[in-house]
Structure 1
């Protein structure tokens, strides 16, 4: 073997060892960077899931606060507070009788609101039952999750009653279709679900007195749709009207008439 070859062998071996060390260091650095990137992605995913969880938790708590059950419990608690105050004040002979009467009126109003809230909750339960009675339909399209809706029930006003009945109609029909005719109750008139009555005060009275407490009012041409009349359970008085809003839009209206 030539002498120069033996001199270069250690040099080549040293270069090969250095290259191996450098290559190993590069691979190790890439591995560490990959672990860091995976950890950052995992942390970001966890934060996103936590934010989504907190958002839906807030939505659920907000809807729960607006539910009829929560309102009912709040009214029941307030009634108990009024009962305790009335009992305490009655024990005090020096208590002003006018203030005691005010508390009793306040309690009676709360009990009435509680009764109406229970009736409203019963209406919602009936509606849910009606929807559940529908036969299941086979899905032909892939399920797409709809964005959440903001649902709230708000008091929108009071309607006065002096004839023991109410009517649902479009205001534009009053000038065009309303009839002014003699008031005459026809007790022998046969009533079915398809029976229609004149679009007038007399027609509304005949609908609520001859039928099952309600009836349809007809247009001038004779077909139904001008309005619907129904009697109230408590007769005359003022009745609260509530609206159910989905994302700020009214989709249902409820009138507690009894």
Structure 2
């Protein structure tokens, strides 16, 4: 599978054309993509500064020689040509759950402003219905318990505060993560619509209607799925 993941990363890197403004995803497969892209840059591919969706991706991109934009600046990119990222689950409609690495907010910003969003995953991430992977929801620390209670009431589940050594896990944005064990999501858009208005919720890990294509690494190589308009 590791070789297949490298193949899917190389296939994604091959999509990149000179001058493209890129969004660089997070996670193990996305980092392989960054490495593959770095090899193309070393061979002469010229790119404007890209967006990195996590501190880990920033470090990998710099090590690979990929220029990066400062997303905290007033002149930060507001549009991307292509964003490539991994996922924790992907269904047949190319909807996904993301956020296992606690990078969902930055990942969704990149995916939303990209003209083309492509996910790269291994075959184990394909599911018939989203929800086996607990849905991550990023919340502000102030009043996180109130947000958790509202989510519990709305979804009928008990959110779990994600922990790290010494206390709650803190995202790159200074927030907390609530993992919601939904088991099976019948209507991803309805769940997204319920979560977004809750005070304290910054973003959720449902990526619905964003991906144009998914590249899947399997025992026989790379499979491509394209979303039907």
Q: TM-score, normalised by structure 2?
A: 0.23
Q: TM-score, normalised by structure 1?
A: 0.21
* Greater share of strand: 2
Is the radius of gyration larger for structure 1 or structure 2?
Answer: 1
